[in-house]
């Protein structure tokens, strides 16, 4: 049974919302009443996300943004404020995956990973906080990965970028509570997305989670009472291979 949460009147920014996990999250939040800014690098993909939300009776707006570019992030949050006047929830889902043995992994590829997965997430958190703090409310949910606490071969650089999100989220959760803002992270195990297909082509994709499972985890967090929060949530497929 799907989790039902009343998000009426809540303004949400979801990054990486053009496909996969981000798209599923944007659709789920809109279905539960939120107004969603769907952001990603590919215009056609976010337009499709927004079109799907609209056809289901939801409210959303598309904004093309490469979170490796600080100015684009700033403009995205300005757009969200212009559209809705507030930001209640930020879901940092945008990320890239580049893989290979560390001894052959280029510094240029490392920089690309960190620019999106760590630096972009950091800046999005900062920009959201600047708009949430005056309201003394809000929720930031960072989508990390099982590699945030578990190692796999040929993923050292990618794993380092996700460990950075873990450290960021843990510290920010404590820092933001002064302003009644909650900060959580979700560690998905293997999810049936293009990124996982690139990282682990050896996997039988039938044993993987679906993007909608991660969207359900986001709704679970948002359904918590005001008395509590969850700092970390690890979700994996029930199988003999716990990715």
CA 102 to chain centre: 26
pLDDT on residue 238:
74
Average pLDDT of the chain?
91
pTM: 0.92
Q: Around Cβ 10, how many Cβ atoms within 10 Å?
A: 21
Compute φ and ψ for 176, nearest 5 degrees.
-85, -15
Better-predicted residue by pLDDT, 241 or 185: 185
233 pairs with which residues across the strands? 186
Residue 212 burial (C-beta neighbours within 10 Å; 0-12, 13-18, 19+): middle
Percentage, residues of the chain above pLDDT 70:
92
Domains, in order of start, for the chain: 11-235 (3.40.50.720)
Distance, CA of 125 to CA of 123 (rounded, Å): 5
E-assigned strands of 66-125? Answer: 89-92
pLDDT on residue 194:
67
Short-list 118, 141, 112, 113, CA closest to 128:
141
Distance, CA of 203 to CA of 191 (rounded, Å): 11
Choosing from 63, 122, 152, 158, the catalytic residue is 158
| 45-49, 140-144, 191-195, 230-234: segment of lowest average pLDDT | 191-195
- HSE-CB of 153 using CA atoms within 13 angstroms: 1
Q: Quick: pLDDT tens for 220-240.
A: 999 998 888 899 999 887 765
Compute φ and ψ for 59, nearest 5 degrees.
-120, 130
132-158 burial: b if 16+ Cβ within 10 Å, else e:
beeeeebbbbbbbbbbbeeeeeebbbb
Distance, CA of 239 to CA of 168 (rounded, Å): 31
Active site annotation includes 158: yes
């Amino acid at each position: 049974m799907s989790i039902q949460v009343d998000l009426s009147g809540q303004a949400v920014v979801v990054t990486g919302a053009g496909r996969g996990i981000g798209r599923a999250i944007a659709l789920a939040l809109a279905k539960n009443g939120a107004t969603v800014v769907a952001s990603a690098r590919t215009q056609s993909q976010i337009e499709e996300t927004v079109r799907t939300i609209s056809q289901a009776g939801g409210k959303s707006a598309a904004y093309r943004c490469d979170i490796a570019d600080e100015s684009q992030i700033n403009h995205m949050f300005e757009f969200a404020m212009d559209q809705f006047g507030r930001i209640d929830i930020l879901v940092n889902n945008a990320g890239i995956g580049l893989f290979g043995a560390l001894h052959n992994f280029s510094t240029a590829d490392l920089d690309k990973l960190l620019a999106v997965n760590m630096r972009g997430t950091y800046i999005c958190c900062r920009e959201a906080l600047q708009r949430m703090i005056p309201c003394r409310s809000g929720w930031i949910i960072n989508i990390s990965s099982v590699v945030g606490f578990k190692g796999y071969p040929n993923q050292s650089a990618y794993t380092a970028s996700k460990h950075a999100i873990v450290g960021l989220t843990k510290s920010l959760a404590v820092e933001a509570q002064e302003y009644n803002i909650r900060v959580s992270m979700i560690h998905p195990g293997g999810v049936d997305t293009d990124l996982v297909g690139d990282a682990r082509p050896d996997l039988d994709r039938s044993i993987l989670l679906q993007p909608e499972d991660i969207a359900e985890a986001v709704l679970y967090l948002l359904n918590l009472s005001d008395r509590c929060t969850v700092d970390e949530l690890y979700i994996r497929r029930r199988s003999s291979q716990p990715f």
